[in-house]
Amino acid sequence: MPGDAAAREAEGDPGRDPDDRAGPGPEPSDAASDDGAELAADARGGRRGRRLKREVKQRSFWKELPILIGIAIVLALVIKTFLMQAFSIPSNSMQNTLQEGDRVLVDKLTPWFGSEPERGEVVVFHDPGGWLGEAPEGGGGLGGAVQSALSFIGLMPSAEDQDLIKRVIAVGGDTVACEEGGEVQVNGEPLDESEYLFPGNTPCGDRPFGPIEIPEGRLWVMGDHRQDSLDSRYHQNLEGGGTVSEDDVVGRAIVIAWPIDRWGTLPVPDSYGSVGAAAMAATPAALGVAGAVPLVLMRRRRLLRKAAEAAPVAGEPAPWAAGRAPEAGPEARPEMGETPQR
């Protein structure tokens, strides 16, 4: 009957599976598809982020490169001007100490602090005038421009540089001489030059000279290869009498930097240690004595004052007479820098 059918539909058919009942079923879930989309988006975002980082790094490098080059040039100029400069040896006049083609590093810092050239040092100096003749013209074209740029920052020697390198034999106030067949004498003291003189050379070569008094502020210089060096001996007819002004000195050569197998320092030979040693040692000794005398007097006065303050007053027993040590007041404590007596 229709009423029974309606009732069965309302109450449900006990013999029918509930899942087979009519009516809208549950909507399909999109959770899996949403998770996949998010992962894909994250992957795309990660790749895009890494690509952007690489692009930013590349842009930053190219933006910073000119700054880095500028800083490097400034540092090179500072080093060349105030600290150290490389020079190339153009001849054999300093053999065997230096060979043609060697690169030496020249100390330009110490002269800024008042250091003056000393006997025995190997120094680079500007042409005093007439020693090298006319300056050569710099090379043209691209090669000349590159050399000029590199020499400007100290990485290459300039084609127009008029510089020489020799050993200082005598300084201002010295008397230098060399008799034929004899040794070079400075202030009457013969120099033992066997340590650096080119084998087979004589100290004077074929140019004996002197005695010559070196003016203050000037130097007498000679090459270690005496028979192949146009040094002070050959320019006595020029202004300065063959001497070089200390103002023309670029600096002292301290290291052979190139080639690597010839790397080494350029110390002052031991033979120069005795030349003028008495005169040079007198000044520091005198200054030391002059400074020590007032210090000794001040210390003695301070000790006498402490002794007077520690003495007992007349009529009163000394504190240590009763078996107790005197109190250590401020006066009895050792002052800063003093070592307590034991």
* Catalytic machinery residues: 93, 166
Report yes or no: 272 and 117 within 8 Å, Cβ to Cβ: no
Distance CA 27, CA 32 (A): 14
For 229, 282, 291, 310, the CA distances from 294, given in Å and listed in that order, are: 53, 19, 6, 24
- DSSP at 91: S
HSE at residue 287, side-chain half, CA atoms within 13 A, is: 4
Beta bridge partners of 176: 186, 212
Look up residue 223 and give its amino acid: G
CA-nearest of 131, 135, 148, 106 to 249 is 106
Distance CA 338, CA 327 (A): 20
| Helix, strand, coil share of the chain (percent; to 5) | 40, 15, 45
Q: Where are the beta strands (DSSP E) in the chain?
A: 84-88, 103-107, 122-126, 163-170, 175-178, 184-186, 189-190, 209-213, 218-222, 244-245, 249-258, 264-265
Angle 8-13-16 from CA coordinates, rounded to 5°: 155
CA 151 from centroid of its chain's CA atoms: 19
Structure tokens at 201: 């050379």
Sign of CA dihedral 162, 168, 174, 176: negative
